[in-house]
Structure 1
Amino acid sequence: MDEPTSVHQIWKALGLPGIFDVHTHFMPKNVMDKVWQYFDAAGPLVGRPWPITYRTDEQARLQTLRSFGVLAFTSLVYPHKPAMAAWLNQWAAQFAADTPDCLSTATFFPEPGAADYVGAALAGGARVFKAHVQVGGYDPTDPLLDGVWGALAETGTPIVIHCGSGPQPGAHTGPGPVRALLQRHPGLQLIVAHMGMAEYTEFLDLAERFGVYLDTTMAFTAFSEETMPFPAREYPRLRGCGDRILWGSDFPNIPYGYAEAMTALTRLPGIDDDWLRGVFHDNAARIFGLH
Structure 2
Amino acid sequence: MTDLRAGVRPGAEEPVDRSSDAPDVVAFWEALGLPGLVDVHVHFLPPPIQRAVWAVFDSAGPKIGRDWPIRYRSAVEDRVDLLRAMGVRRFSALPYAHKPGVAAYLNTWAAAFAERVPESLRSATFYPEEGAAAYVAEAVEAGVEVFKLHLQVGEFHLDDPLLAPVWGVLEDAGTPVVVHAGSGPVPNEFTGPESTRRVLARHPRLALVVAHLGAPEFEEFLELAETHERVHLDTTMVFTDFFPATYPSGLVPRLRDLQPKVLLGSDFPTIPYPYRHQLDGLAALDLGEDWLRDVCWHNGVRLFGAGRP
Q: Normalization by structure 2: what TM-score?
A: 0.91
Provide the identity percentage.
Answer: 50
The aligned runs of 1:1-291 (5 Å cut-off) are 2-211=20-229, 212-224=231-243, 227-268=244-285, 270-290=286-306
Deviations 1:175-196 (A, max 9, x none): 1111111001111000000000
Q: Secondary structure at the match of 1:191?
A: strand
AA at the equivalent of 2:173: T
Q: Secondary structure at the match of 2:167?
A: helix
Shift of residue 289, structure 1, vs aligned partner: 2.0
Q: Secondary structure at the match of 1:102?
A: coil
Q: Secondary structure at the match of 1:160?
A: strand
Equivalent pairs counted in the alignment come to 288
Q: Secondary structure at the match of 2:34?
A: coil
AA at the equivalent of 2:282: L
Q: Secondary structure at the match of 1:24?
A: coil
Alignment partner, residue 7 of structure 2: none
AA at the equivalent of 1:223: F
CA distance in 2, matches of 1:266, 1:200: 19
Q: Secondary structure at the match of 1:157?
A: coil
8 Å Cα contact 1:160-1:193 kept in structure 2: yes
Shift of residue 252, structure 1, vs aligned partner: 0.2
8 Å Cα contact 1:135-1:170 kept in structure 2: no
- In structure 1, runs of 5+ residues without a counterpart are none
8 Å Cα contact 1:131-1:162 kept in structure 2: yes
CA distance in 1, matches of 2:297, 2:93: 18
CA distance in 2, matches of 1:167, 1:264: 19
Shift of residue 143, structure 1, vs aligned partner: 1.4
- In structure 2, runs of 5+ residues without a counterpart are 1-18
Alignment partner, residue 9 of structure 2: none
Shift of residue 134, structure 1, vs aligned partner: 1.0
Q: Normalization by structure 1: what TM-score?
A: 0.97
Alignment partner, residue 5 of structure 2: none
CA distance in 2, matches of 1:63, 1:98: 13
Deviations 1:33-55 (A, max 9, x none): 00000000011111000011000
CA distance in 1, matches of 2:71, 2:145: 28
Q: Which 4+ runs in 1 deviate beyond 2 A?
A: none
Alignment partner, residue 4 of structure 2: none
Q: Secondary structure at the match of 1:130?
A: strand
RMSD: 1.1
Q: Secondary structure at the match of 1:106?
A: strand
8 Å Cα contact 1:112-1:144 kept in structure 2: yes
AA at the equivalent of 1:135: V
Shift of residue 2, structure 1, vs aligned partner: 3.7
Shift of residue 156, structure 1, vs aligned partner: 0.4
